[in-house]
Amino acid sequence: MASTSPLASVRRYAWIAAAIAAVIGAAVLLGELRRSAHNTTLPGAARIGGPFTLTSHDGKRFSSDSLAGRPHLVFFGFTHCPDICPTTLLEVTNHLAELGPKADQLAALFITVDPARDTPEHLARYLSAFDKRIIGLTGTEAETDAVRKLYRAYAEKVPGKDGDYTMNHTASVYLMDRSGALASTMTFEESEDVRRKKIARLLDR
Amino acid sequence: MKITPIRASAALQVAATLITATASLAGDYKAGDLKIGEPWTRVTPPGAAVAGGFMTITNTGKEADRLLGGSATISKRLEVHEMTMDGGIMKMRELAKGLEIKPGETVELKPGSFHVMFIELTTPPAIGTPVKGQLKFEKAGTVDVEYKVAPLGAKSASDPAGKVDAGGMGHHGKH
């Protein structure tokens, strides 16, 4: 046998592997730092969102593939909601109106957390009061639950009288960039100006 | 008849008194020691099953009272609810024991907070058609009120809000 024992050669390979790993790690870290320096992707953003298929308010199947390359707003709600859902829909409507044709590249998705009552027909009727570009999405409970989980959004059924119920749910609007990554969130509690700036930044990304 | 300056000023005074009286009648109600200021609701999207009702309630008395519920001509039921935001999550709950109005305090029922909820709407609220209803208090009893109807998404009774006509809207925006 040569001067190097099997053990020493294993050790040498281990060192080489460690060195390569360190170099790769440093490169990834450097890239990550550089990326975050000029880009506002939120920490953990990669874990928010993802591919899905639901049914849109026109009754057709809607695939998230159709959002490729387009910035989009995603928000969760339901039509048996007296306050925040119509308010958010109206605010999004006003922002889209203000942006004019520039808003055509922006998709806006209203995903129900109450698919049992929010049928495509009902969503279509309800959404007729808002900007036509807002897409209402529903599906089976399993389907809407799965999408909600992709977005780490919360929803909970609160029983009322006579079998009636209401829903507690995440009220934030997710601002997703062209690549499908979470850029920011906005809420109805922020000023109109703050929301306007967030949408403008999303379109510029 | 010749109108003398005295007569004219008397007429103006009567008119002014009438206007003031009408203004205070327009949106304010009394129930015992409670003053209810300007109840209002707003237009809902088509097909909506629920709507919120808002107002201020001032307790001028020495004892606490509670808003327990009531009724309205536009819905099958009326409940007292509270909406809260908790870490980005909208939470809605019925105040089963009612909403307390302490002596000397004014409680505001407004969007994003306390409100009465019209449940199972039978007639959607429409601009120009005040909504008739009753409010039921633990001590002050029942009082008839009328809710002014504000536009979709209004944040207050006098908020012109809406803006929904500003471009991008389909002709089906009206309902």
Q: Which of B117, B135, B105, B140 is nearest to B44 (CA)?
A: B117
Least confident window among A98-102, B162-166, B167-171:
B167-171
B contact residues 17-36, partner A, Cβ 8 Å cutoff: none
pLDDT tens sequence across A177-187: 999 999 999 99
Asked whether the predicted pLDDT for residue A132 surpasses 60, the reply is yes
Which of A58, A93, A192 is the best residue to mutate to test the B interface, defined by the most B CB atoms within 10 Å of its own CB? A93
Query: What is the average pLDDT value for chain B, to the nearest integer?
Result: 85
Least confident window among A196-200, B4-8, B35-39, B150-154:
B4-8
Q: Do A126 and B47 meet the contact criterion of CB atoms below 8 Å apart?
A: yes
State whether the Cα torsion A121-A125-A128-A131 is positive or negative: negative
Are A80 and B49 in contact (CB < 8 Å)?
Answer: yes
pLDDT tens sequence across B103-113: 999 999 999 99
Confidence of residue A10 (pLDDT cuts 50, 70, 90): low
Q: Do A40 and A202 meet the contact criterion of CB atoms below 8 Å apart?
A: no
CA gap A84, B84 in Å, rounded: 10
CB atoms inside a 10 Å sphere around CB B59: 23
Asked whether the predicted pLDDT for residue A190 surpasses 60, the reply is yes
Considering only alpha carbons, which residue of chain A is nearest residue B161?
A90
Name the burial class of residue B164, with classes exposed (0-12), middle (13-18) and buried (19+) by CB atoms within 10 angstroms of its CB.
buried
Q: Do B149 and B125 meet the contact criterion of CB atoms below 8 Å apart?
A: yes
CA gap B111, B143 in Å, rounded: 22
DSSP state of A162: G
Overall average pLDDT of the A145-167 stretch? 94
Considering only alpha carbons, which residue of chain B is nearest residue A78?
B48
The reply to whether B152 touches chain A by the CB within 8 Å rule is: yes
Q: What is the pLDDT of residue A146?
A: 97
Confidence of residue B159 (pLDDT cuts 50, 70, 90): confident
Query: What is the average pLDDT value for chain A, to the nearest integer?
Result: 87
A122 interaction partners in chain B (CB closer than 8 Å): 47
Q: What is the pLDDT of residue A36?
A: 47
pLDDT tens sequence across A64-119: 999 999 999 999 999 999 899 999 999 999 999 999 888 999 999 999 999 999 99
B118 interaction partners in chain A (CB closer than 8 Å): 82
A contact residues 75-94, partner B, Cβ 8 Å cutoff: 79-84, 86-87, 89-91, 93-94
CA gap A68, A105 in Å, rounded: 11
Q: What is the pLDDT of residue B16?
A: 52
Say which amino acid occupies A187: T
Q: What is the pLDDT of residue B12?
A: 58
A135 interaction partners in chain B (CB closer than 8 Å): none
Q: Which of A46, A48, A50, A47 is nearest to A65 (CA)?
A: A50
Overall average pLDDT of the A35-57 stretch? 76
